[in-house]
Amino acid sequence: MYRLTTLTAIDEIPAADWNALVGDDLPHLRHEFLAAMEHHGCVGERFGWLPRHLVLHDEAERAVAAAPCYLKLNSYGEFVFDWAWADAYRRAGMQYYPKLVVASPYTPATGLRILTGDSPERPTLAAALIQGSVQVAERLDVSGLHWLFTNETETDWARAQGFMPRLGCQFHWRNQGYASFDDFIGAFSAEKRKKVKRERRRVQESGIRIRRVRGDEVTPEEWRIFHRLYEDTFDKRGGIPTLSLPFFEEIGRSMGRNLLLVLCEEPGGGDGGRIVAAAFCLLGAQSLYGRHWGCFKDYHSLHFEACYYQGLDHCIEHGLARFEPGAQGEHKVARGFLPTRTWSAHWIADPRFRKPIGTFLEHEIDAVEDYIDEMNTHSPYKATAAGQASGDAPPQA
């Protein structure tokens, strides 16, 4: 019934056809986002992300399902860490790379990876796409195929077809219909509420002005300054700043309403002052995704204000349901972000490695569950509000 094609560039499919499958809450999977990365060398040979996007066509040759897929020559920018697996292959005298990953490059945001729009045939299409992805992996003779940051339903579908699930943990926020930021922290214990207020007050007392700007309203100079901040963060941490200034400028033009830039300005230097820090977020119809942060000068609590509190303000003001502020970070718990299960699904070609990796993943799931339980004991919410604020969202099919 279906035919699977593999695209070596996202521009091989019309943007309207791809975006119809993505929906309106996954900005990091939109055609414009993936295309800008390809247009400006953020993926490709240099960084080891070679596009192999999967598109499923029906008998009428309509695109009915898709997944963003890459042939990977390393494990950088995935946030589901398999360096130990690669090392085991190396010690056995075998090659772990290349491999295939279904993911949004450099973006550890959760959600759908099996893109089917609003099709009522979603389970059938998902089965065909997963089966087809394994056939592609076998044809390319890769070590494995990895679906990253899938939701729980998709992970179960993949497990039914021989994939091994992997459990992770991030810290997310869910909107309980809060009327204001004060209403939100009103659900905190008195001690935790006082701490948040003190952090916000310190930023105000420093004289820093905060502006939230949509991507299509960011000026060329503001993009240039933000990109310097973005590169500076990677330089400080010894990372690789893979996203170029032309990439940000292009998505500002092509999908600007899906971008939110938080600009922090020091007094003086003209009408708006001098930008000393910034945070970059992606916006969906129901979700906010925190992505990048940088600062030229340290101010007490400014990171918390720009990366968390401004995003929470935006979600509450605009009625967004969720806020994912990025990977890792136990310090987020005290600020209202609770431990949330994240999933991925893994197919390993070589049976000699499949079994030990599967055993490792089973033990890892137990350890992550224990970690989630421990993190929940540090929740800032009052006991009566803790259940409602739980980070785990219901699975989306």
Give CA–CA dist 385/197, Å, rounded.
19
Q: What is the pLDDT of residue 386?
A: 54
CATH number at residue 24: 3.40.630.30
Considering the domain architecture, whether residues 164 and 71 belong to the same structural domain is answered as: yes
Considering the domain architecture, whether residues 164 and 242 belong to the same structural domain is answered as: no
Alpha helices in the chain (DSSP H): 15-22, 31-39, 83-91, 122-140, 152-159, 181-185, 190-205, 220-237, 245-254, 302-304, 310-318, 351-376, 383-386
Q: Residue 183 falls within a domain, yes or no?
A: yes
Give the mean pLDDT of the chain: 95
**Once rounded to an integer, what is the mean pLDDT over residues 109-119?**
97
State pLDDT tens for residues 263-293. 999 987 555 579 999 999 999 999 999 999 9
**Structural domains counted in the chain:** 2
**Once rounded to an integer, what is the mean pLDDT over residues 55-63?**
97
Q: What is the pLDDT of residue 395?
A: 47
Inform me whether the pLDDT recorded for 350 exceeds 90. yes
When pLDDT is cut at 50, 70 and 90, the band that residue 384 belongs to is low
Considering the domain architecture, whether residues 13 and 154 belong to the same structural domain is answered as: yes
> Domain limits at 36?
3-169+340-386
Considering the domain architecture, whether residues 69 and 95 belong to the same structural domain is answered as: yes
When pLDDT is cut at 50, 70 and 90, the band that residue 397 belongs to is low
State pLDDT tens for residues 206-224. 999 999 999 999 999 999 9
Contact between 289 and 314 under an 8 Å Cβ cutoff? The reply is: no
Considering the domain architecture, whether residues 98 and 237 belong to the same structural domain is answered as: no
Considering the domain architecture, whether residues 255 and 285 belong to the same structural domain is answered as: yes
Inform me whether the pLDDT recorded for 394 exceeds 50. no
Q: pTM of the prediction?
A: 0.95
